[in-house]
A and B are shown apart, each in its own frame.
Chain A
Amino acid sequence: MQFKIRYSLIIIGLLSFIIEGLQAQNGAASAYTSFGVGRIESGATIQYEAMGGTGIALPSEYSINTLNPASLAGLKSEGIIFDLGLRTSFTEYSHDTESGSAFTGGLNNLTLAFKPGEKWVTSFNVSQFSSLAYKINSETYIDGSTTLIDKNYEGSGGLSEVSVSNAYAVNSNLSLGLTLSYVFGKLNKQESYSSSVIGGDLTVDYGDFLQQMTVGAGIQYKLPLKKSNLLFGATYNPAVNFNTEREVQTSSSSGAGIIEEMEEDDYKIPANLGGGVAWMNNHGIKIALDYRYQSWSNINYSSPIAEYKDSHKFNGGVEYRRRKSRKLNPYLWRLGGYYEDSYIQVKGKTIMDRGITAGVGIPLRGQSSYLNVSFNYGSRGTNNNALITENYYGISVSMSMVESWFKKRTFD
């Protein structure tokens, strides 16, 4: 047990080296990421991503489910499970006559979990919490004149989350989980101007440093049926009020420039409530449904064209494996979908996000180690042509490894 904890600490220590890299955005680029802390990522590992991001009611078993801390109690592996996910995304934008595209990619998650005790499972997780990615070319009037000049907006960065989750199996059917997270990062918002009228260029960089400790709680309950189980899950994340510091940096062709710490209103994220139901049979077929609600209307936000409203998200997914497979680790096939009535309302129209996912878990040599691949296709925006419609395609890959795989190699 002690060595498990020691290795866990070593890994966590090393993870901190790559957190900086994680700060860069990896989610799909979108003009809609300019709101608040950017687009809030699902935080699911790739296996669950392939099931439409569904998993509040699913137990972790041989792969780590980060969607509900209570699910960790279902971990069946005795060793350390290590999960690394990477993802890429390609987005196509369209708007009346304009169109464009963007490519982004990066780390999705670095997670490990182990069992310090018979009924107790701990996991460490590093993942992207939110991301900003936009580049918009526009024009603006010089105040006090009728002169139009070029103005560009660019957003990058996002928030990272480092968390430790603990799950406790109250009995064979009921488990509870608690996550303690540190969410932090820098949101970069740049406004730049370019024109000979102003003697060249002016760039105004807003760097908002956000950080906060936060907790999340989860519960899972298993109702055994004849040859299957019905599972219920629920999660709750309280509202987060980020400690916010803003640094403004300006620079211009003329040499005028300022670096200044400024007061900035704290960024806020409202409480998030999730519920899920799943059905699993003894042959490993899983069907799951999730619903999440976030009370964004409680957040004060003023903008001439956009407003916040409560968001609703539905996820559904299935996982299938061949019943007659004699292999210890058969191929796992996954399908899913999601539909989000998002918190952003522009010109009275709610921004919708919907998509489908498909994936496969490819067994690797050794016990319960998988290479997971997930594909997704989604569309964000509204049917109203006046707004931007974004179609995005993603490929994600993860390695989910169990410690015994390492052990075996080590003793070769």
Chain B
Amino acid sequence: MQRVIIILIIALALVNEACNDQSLDELKMGEEYIDDESGILLIDTFSLALSTVLIDSISTSASSSLVIGQYNNTVFGKIGVEPVYSLDVPFRYDFEEEDVFDSITISIDYNGYTLGDTTSLQTINVMELDTDLDDFESYLYNTTRVKTKEEALGQISFYPKPTRRELLEMRLNDDFGQRIFDLFINEEDEIANATAFNEYFKGIVLQNELSHSLLGLGLNDSSLCVNMYYHRVDGEKQELKAEFEMRREYEYFSQVKYDRSQTLFAPLVIQEEDISSLQTNDITLLQGMSGLLTKVRFPGLAKVFQLVKLDQIIKVELILVPTQEAEDINSLPLQLLAYESNKVNKINDLVDDGSGNAIPLLLYPASDNFESHPYYSMDITSYIISNLVTGYFEPDNAILVGLPSEYLQNTAATVMFGGEQNTTYQPKLKIYTYYY
């Protein structure tokens, strides 16, 4: 009997396990019967401190496009960009002794990027570079300066039509053309190869003479190319053309010249010293090519543990609101980068999610019940938590907000953020926490 009972009990246990099953539909009703014991709480009263930082230099070499032009703005002053590049040499045997030079031109291909008034006349001096680009041992930066020869190779004037995307070709001085042409006719050593040619003719600098806008230039076989036209009478007259293409495999860069002396940002000189939004009319700047970044500090977090425990923080969101003024002059980048930084504004690693995946700031449209202006948002939970585990938030730790490299190197994309006391475009630190 004992055995039978034991077997029976084991069987029962199995039946019990098998039967202890429940499957319940999720009901969208009846919540009124449940006592809410927990809840989610948003705290957005922690103060931020925003400032503008000038990065010493940013590499503008080997970029995917070049920019030409100049733009003037009352907030950030003047920014001028001048492409610097060298030319390849065409095949010398394409020339014969009796060939006659006709003209020389430069062609430009827009890539569609613009900033400023593109309806007014743009005048550019095409200058001959007088600095060896390979003298620079490392990258070429926005702040790199080159010399040019005194006499211009030509001056070109045009009304930009960047949206039309057609190749613009304009004539340069004939004596420049004749000088180069003669090298071929005389079979000089200078045209033996690109290296030899660049020793003689170091390159081209496009200098702004008159400009109200920045224009992006595409890099392709015909853009920024110098075209030499000549003819040959060999029974019949032959029209011939030799192309001096831009050396895209060699050094080229955008030389950036800015002048903020007439603006509130004038004190920005060195990277270590940022300028608070309180001194710049409650805004901060972010700009490609000129190297302006916005710095965000978190002074309010000093008191965070008076309100919540570390383990109650489920999300920390940083909201930065661009002003309408920036939106008026250019379309806002959909995404911005955030770097960890410190007291001296060093650019460290990108802020990540704790697993090594960088987290960008993403642009969101205005929404009626949330933000009345477009805003950038970023989940900085991991960054804040990793700082707070030490028990307090180091007040010098900060986030630097900058442009993705395609904007930084190729455009003067400008964003102006409302500073901490800007009531219209107020930045926020939103901490989502819970109680139980």
A-side interface residues toward B, CB under 8 Å? Answer: 7, 10-11, 14-15, 17-18, 21-22, 24-26, 29, 31-32, 34-35, 84, 86, 88, 93, 95-96, 98, 100-107, 110, 133-138, 140, 142-147, 149, 151-153, 156, 189, 191, 193, 197-199, 202, 204, 206, 248, 250, 252-258, 303, 305-306, 346-347, 388, 403, 406-407, 409-410
Contact yes or no, A143 B42, CB < 8 A = yes
Task: State the Cβ distance, B242 to closest chain A Cβ, in Å.
Answer: 59
Contact yes or no, A106 B19, CB < 8 A = yes
Contact yes or no, A142 B41, CB < 8 A = yes
Question: Of all chain B residues, which has the CB nearest A401?
Answer: B8
- State which residues 6-62 of B face A: CB under 8 Å: 6, 9, 12-13, 15-17, 19-44
Given contacts A136-B26, A252-B314, A306-B33, contact A84 B39 (CB under 8 A): no
Task: State the Cβ distance, A80 to closest chain B Cβ, in Å.
Answer: 9
Q: Which bucket holds chain B's interface residue count?
A: 35 or more
Contact yes or no, A143 B12, CB < 8 A = no
Contact yes or no, A95 B42, CB < 8 A = no
Question: Does B5 interact with chain A (Cβ within 8 Å)?
Answer: yes
Given contacts A143-B40, A199-B315, A256-B311, contact A136 B29 (CB under 8 A): yes
Question: Does B436 interact with chain A (Cβ within 8 Å)?
Answer: yes
A46 to B208, CA, bound (A): 97
A134 to B31, CA, bound (A): 10
Smallest CB-CB A-B distances: 5 pairs? A31-B30, A100-B25, A199-B315, A138-B31, A95-B29
Q: List 27 A-B contacts (CB under 8 A).
A: A14-B9, A21-B16, A32-B33, A34-B33, A88-B19, A95-B30, A98-B29, A100-B27, A100-B29, A105-B20, A106-B16, A106-B19, A106-B20, A134-B27, A134-B30, A144-B41, A147-B369, A153-B34, A198-B432, A204-B38, A206-B37, A206-B436, A252-B314, A254-B382, A254-B385, A306-B33, A388-B27
Question: Of all chain A residues, which has the CB nearest B435?
Answer: A143
A35 to B32, CA, bound (A): 11
A149 to B4, CA, bound (A): 56
A255 to B432, CA, bound (A): 13
Given contacts A146-B369, A204-B436, A406-B1, contact A136 B311 (CB under 8 A): no
Question: Does B309 interact with chain A (Cβ within 8 Å)?
Answer: yes
A409 to B432, CA, bound (A): 67
Contact yes or no, A134 B24, CB < 8 A = yes
Contact residue among B12, B309, B385 (Cβ-Cβ distance under 8 Å from A258): B309
Contact yes or no, B22 A29, CB < 8 A = yes
A-B pair count, CB < 8 Å, reads 207
Question: Does B310 interact with chain A (Cβ within 8 Å)?
Answer: yes
Question: Does B138 interact with chain A (Cβ within 8 Å)?
Answer: no
Contact yes or no, A254 B16, CB < 8 A = no
Contact yes or no, A406 B4, CB < 8 A = yes
14 further contact pairs, Cβ within 8 A, besides A31-B27, A98-B27, A146-B369: A10-B2, A15-B9, A21-B13, A95-B27, A95-B29, A106-B19, A136-B31, A138-B31, A145-B42, A191-B37, A191-B38, A193-B40, A204-B37, A206-B436
By a CB distance below 8 angstroms, the chain A residues around B434 are: 193, 202, 204, 250
By a CB distance below 8 angstroms, the chain B residues around A11 are: 5, 9
By a CB distance below 8 angstroms, the chain A residues around B13 are: 14, 17-18, 21
Contact yes or no, A133 B24, CB < 8 A = yes
By a CB distance below 8 angstroms, the chain B residues around A134 are: 24, 27, 30, 34
By a CB distance below 8 angstroms, the chain A residues around B19 are: 26, 86, 88, 105-107
Contact yes or no, B314 A254, CB < 8 A = yes
Question: Of all chain A residues, which has the CB nearest B39?
Answer: A143
Contact yes or no, B432 A199, CB < 8 A = yes
Question: Does B313 interact with chain A (Cβ within 8 Å)?
Answer: yes
Contact yes or no, B311 A258, CB < 8 A = yes
Contact yes or no, A198 B44, CB < 8 A = no
Contact yes or no, B4 A107, CB < 8 A = no
Contact yes or no, A147 B370, CB < 8 A = yes
Contact yes or no, B20 A136, CB < 8 A = no
Contact residue among B6, B12, B29, B311 (Cβ-Cβ distance under 8 Å from A93): B29
A95 to B35, CA, bound (A): 19
Contact yes or no, A137 B4, CB < 8 A = no
By a CB distance below 8 angstroms, the chain A residues around B211 are: none
Contact residue among A25, A142, A253 (Cβ-Cβ distance under 8 Å from B42): A142
B-side interface residues toward A, CB under 8 Å? Answer: 1-2, 4-6, 9, 12-13, 15-17, 19-44, 309-315, 354, 369-370, 379, 381-382, 385, 432, 434, 436
Contact residue among A31, A104, A253 (Cβ-Cβ distance under 8 Å from B22): A104
A24 to B20, CA, bound (A): 6
By a CB distance below 8 angstroms, the chain B residues around A103 are: 21-24
Question: Of all chain B residues, which has the CB nearest A344?
Answer: B33
A140 to B28, CA, bound (A): 13
By a CB distance below 8 angstroms, the chain B residues around A104 are: 21-24
By a CB distance below 8 angstroms, the chain A residues around B27 are: 31, 93, 95, 98, 100, 134-137, 388
Question: Of all chain B residues, which has the CB nearest A190?
Answer: B38
By a CB distance below 8 angstroms, the chain A residues around B17 are: 21
A18 to B19, CA, bound (A): 12
A41 to B277, CA, bound (A): 67
A138 to B26, CA, bound (A): 10
Task: State the Cβ distance, A217 to closest chain B Cβ, in Å.
Answer: 30
A249 to B418, CA, bound (A): 40
Task: State the Cβ distance, B311 to closest chain A Cβ, in Å.
Answer: 5
Task: State the Cβ distance, A196 to closest chain B Cβ, in Å.
Answer: 9
By a CB distance below 8 angstroms, the chain A residues around B26 are: 100, 135-137, 152
Contact yes or no, B32 A305, CB < 8 A = yes
By a CB distance below 8 angstroms, the chain B residues around A147 are: 42, 369-370
A258 to B308, CA, bound (A): 13
Task: State the Cβ distance, A339 to closest chain B Cβ, in Å.
Answer: 22
Contact yes or no, B30 A303, CB < 8 A = no
Question: Of all chain A residues, which has the CB nearest B315?
Answer: A199
Contact yes or no, B24 A135, CB < 8 A = yes
Question: Of all chain B residues, which has the CB nearest A386?
Answer: B32
Contact yes or no, B16 A22, CB < 8 A = yes
Given contacts A142-B42, A199-B432, contact A346 B381 (CB under 8 A): no
By a CB distance below 8 angstroms, the chain B residues around A105 are: 19-22
A138 to B35, CA, bound (A): 13
Q: Which of B12, B23, B354, B382 has the most CB of A within 10 A?
A: B12
Contact yes or no, B5 A197, CB < 8 A = no
A197 to B319, CA, bound (A): 13
A193 to B40, CA, bound (A): 8
A32 to B32, CA, bound (A): 10
Question: Of all chain B residues, which has the CB nearest A259?
Answer: B311
